[in-house]
């Protein structure tokens, strides 16, 4: 896996910089462990809609 990351980044970050320029996006390369840790830090419980919600997430079948 590390060799794939190295190829994706490119020599001195050349591939990442090019992708960033072409997409106009800021691209941060992180390991899956770093990503999962960051996700856990920012994870917030989501509200569960009640039956009285004016905009239910799914249509009820009958």
The domain locations on the chain are 2-38
**Closest C-alpha to 31, from 10, 54, 6:** 6
Q: Helix or strand or coil: residue 46?
A: coil
Q: Quick one: pLDDT at residue 25? A: 95
Question: What parts of the chain have a pLDDT lower than 50?
Answer: 62
Measured at the CA of 57, the angle between CA 54 and CA 59, to 5 degrees, comes to 90
pLDDT score for 61: 56
| pLDDT given for residue 41 in this prediction | 85
Q: What is the pLDDT of residue 14?
A: 95
- Is 27 in contact with 19 (CB distance < 8 Å)? yes
Per-residue CA distances from 37 to 9, 19, 25, 34 (Å): 21, 25, 22, 5
Statement: the pTM of the whole predicted model exceeds 0.85: no
């Amino acid at each position: 896996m590390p060799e794939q990351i190295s190829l994706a980044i490119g020599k001195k970050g050349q591939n990442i910089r090019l992708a960033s320029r072409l997409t106009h996006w800021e691209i941060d390369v992180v390991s899956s462990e770093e990503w999962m840790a960051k996700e856990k830090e920012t994870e917030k419980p989501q509200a569960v809609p009640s039956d009285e919600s004016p905009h239910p997430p799914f249509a009820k079948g009958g």
